[in-house]
Structure formats: structure tokens, C-alpha cells
Amino acid sequence: MGLIGIDLGGTQLRVAAADDRGRLRTVVREPTEAARGRQHVIDRIVAAVAETLRQERSSPPRIRALGIGLPGPVDPAAGLVISPANLPGFRNVPLNRILTNATGIPSFLHHDAHLAALGEHRRGAGRGASELIYVTVSTGIGAGLLLRGELYAGAHGIAGEVGHIVVQPGGPLCRCGNHGCVEAVASGTGIAHAARDAAPRTPGSALHRIENPTPEDVVRAARAGDVLANTILETAGTYLGIALGTLVNLFNPQVIVLGGSVLKAGRPLLQPMRRSMNASSWRASRRGLRIVRPALAGDAGLIGAVEFARLRARHAREA
């Protein structure tokens, strides 16, 4: 017997076969081809599952459960994809039912960031933690919560939207429609926005000479001592720290797994982040807190999807 885990992103689709203990065996990678619409993507998922089983010399009756992570918002309890930004055509799609029918394997979806949190908790940097917060800061900000060692999804699967904690009321517009969310000011998108805003007014900065500076341009300039670039990273780090401090106050976590490309900015961002996290959380809530790097890197979501399938298979056996 075995399990299937799927990580469905806007650009890449990965399908893993794992044994009953969650150890990965075969992994099949395919482009998602999201632009070609919902049915095409679903057909690709089903074909990739069949290919994975073929390589494993397995078959649907020998797979206990299929777990699939995809961008939110999703409603795991209802098995519904609600409206992920980078999967056009997926609006209110009953994906659990569709995949269960098409593959013959009991299928269960969840938010990809939550599954990455589950992966880090079961097999990565957060093993053994009772209260764990996973935050990844790249183009956007994704997060997942484990409370008492279990995924916490909220009433409708939308818990853990850390990126939409408002840290700068009236600040830049966020893709959620509010202003000043931490994602709008501290993600890669937020950093690029700050650079594009300030660079034209700052002739002394290296960023002034770059058309549409990227977060990587900002990090490079900061390393070379550019004052504006360092200020932008300091601001982003400070806002990120406020959001983390809020989480610390709320959940008194043992571990925060903190990753994503923006963290590669290093000290100019991390130092102000730490400072403002401490300034916006109660000392007692931070006692014993460890902030660690992810251990599974890009595989956290896929491993989490397998672990989710394993959880569901266990529930099914106990029910």
C-alpha cells in the first residue's frame, strides 16, 4: 500500500508516491500549463498520477489516500478550491470529488502553505513542536499554523493568512484589497514597490539608475552599502517583525519556521525584524522560542501533501 502527494503550483505540478510511512519514492514533475484552463490542468494531474503509479508498478486500489496542496483560498473541509490567484478557471471547484472520481483514490485538498507547515512539522525543522508557525516570505507571504501538533485551518480553511496582518494602516494597496498588509510592505513585491517608489527621488542611490528595480537589485545594492537599499530592507524587516510579534503574542509558539527568498537579504532585514518582533511581543510569550530555517526547502509542500494523505488515511481507518 502507499500514498500520493501532489503539489500544484501555478507553474509546476509535482506528484509523489510514498510508502505508508510517508517516505518519498517516485516523484513526477510536469509544467502545470495553468493558462490553458481548469479542465486541462485537471487532466494533467490525473495523467501525472497515472504516470507515477506506472513507474511504481502500483495501481489505485493499492493507494490509501491522495493529498493535494494548492494556492489558497481553499476550503479543505468542503473539498473546494475557492479562487486561487494563479490557477485561472478554478472557482468553487469540488476538487476532492473530481480527483476521487477520476483517479479512483480518496483525494483530499488543502492550502499549500499549510501543507508546507505540516511537512516541516512532521519531517523538517519543526519536528516535535507542539505549537509551530511556518512563514515563507517570497513574492507573497504564505503561512501555516500547527496548534497542539495539528494543522489549524480555521472555520472555513482560511486561517493563517499572516500576510494580511495590517502593519501600516493606510499603507500600500495589497492584492487582498486592504492597505498596509505585511505582504504589501515586506514581501518581494512590497520591497520592489518601495524601491520603485523611492528610487526616482533619490539620485544618489544605485537603485536610481535601475529601471523597475527587483528585490534582488535591492539586496545587491544594500550589500554594496547603498543607503536607500538598506533603508528599504530595514523597513521591510521592521514590518515583518511586527507581524511575527503579533503571532508570538497570540500563539506562544515553540518554533517559527521562517523561510523564503526574501530572507536571503540577511542581516539588513533580519536584524530590524528581530528587534521589532521583540518590541511588539511580550517577553513571556517568547520564552524558549526558536526561529529556524526550513529544512525541506522546496519539497516542504510535497512532503506535507504526502503527510496529509497519511493523516486522512489514518482518519478513514479509525472512522
- Which of these segments, 14-22, 115-123, 124-132, 179-187, binds Zn ion (CB under 5 A)? 179-187
Question: Which of 168/230 has CB closer to Zn ion?
Answer: 168
Contacting residue, 44, 64, 111, 164, with Zn ion by CB under 5 A: 164
CB of 296 to Zn ion, least distance (A): 26
CB of 154 to Zn ion, least distance (A): 16
Question: Which of 3/174 has CB closer to Zn ion?
Answer: 174
CB of 202 to Zn ion, least distance (A): 27
CB of 192 to Zn ion, least distance (A): 16
- Which of these segments, 25-33, 53-61, 121-129, 181-189, binds Zn ion (CB under 5 A)? 181-189
E strand or H helix that includes residue 146:
strand 141-147
Structural contact between residues 16 and 5, judged by C-beta atoms closer than 8 angstroms: yes
Contacting residue, 13, 87, 145, 174, with Zn ion by CB under 5 A: 174
CB of 133 to Zn ion, least distance (A): 18
Under the binding rule (CB under 5 A), the answer on residue 181 touching Zn ion is yes
Size of the site for Zn ion (CB under 5 A): 5
Q: In b/e form, how buried is each residue of 203-230, taking b as 16+ CB within 10 angstroms?
A: eebbbbebeebebebbbbbbeeebebbb
CB of 190 to Zn ion, least distance (A): 10
CB of 183 to Zn ion, least distance (A): 5
Under the binding rule (CB under 5 A), the answer on residue 300 touching Zn ion is no
CB atoms closer than 10 angstroms to residue 117: 31
- Which of these segments, 15-23, 70-78, 137-145, 171-179, binds Zn ion (CB under 5 A)? 171-179
Cα–Cα distance, 164 to 240 (Å, whole number) = 11
Question: Which of 176/224 has CB closer to Zn ion?
Answer: 176
- Which of these segments, 10-18, 100-108, 162-170, 196-204, binds Zn ion (CB under 5 A)? 162-170
Nearest to 191 by CA among 234, 155, 254, 132: 234
Within 8 A by CB and 6+ apart from 168, the residues are: 179, 180, 185, 239
Using DSSP bridges, classify how beta strands 107-111 and 132-137 pair: parallel, antiparallel or unpaired: unpaired
- Which of these segments, 131-139, 160-168, 288-296, 308-316, binds Zn ion (CB under 5 A)? 160-168
DSSP 298: G
- Which of these segments, 170-178, 210-218, 237-245, 294-302, binds Zn ion (CB under 5 A)? 170-178
- State how far the alpha carbon of 129 is from the alpha carbons of 132, 191, 255, 285, in Å: 6, 32, 7, 15
Under the binding rule (CB under 5 A), the answer on residue 186 touching Zn ion is no
Strand-pair partners of 69: 7, 110
Question: Which of 66/181 has CB closer to Zn ion?
Answer: 181
Cα–Cα distance, 109 to 76 (Å, whole number) = 6
Return the amino acid letter for 257.
Answer: V
Strand-pair partners of 80: 75
Please tell me whether residue 70 adopts helix, strand or coil conformation. Answer: strand
Give residues 30-89 in contact with Zn ion (rule: CB under 5 A): none
Structural contact between residues 206 and 221, judged by C-beta atoms closer than 8 angstroms: yes
Within 8 A by CB and 6+ apart from 196, the residues are: 212, 213
Question: Which of 107/168 has CB closer to Zn ion?
Answer: 168
Query: Which residues sit at the interface with Zn ion, rule CB under 5 A?
Result: 164, 174, 176, 178, 181
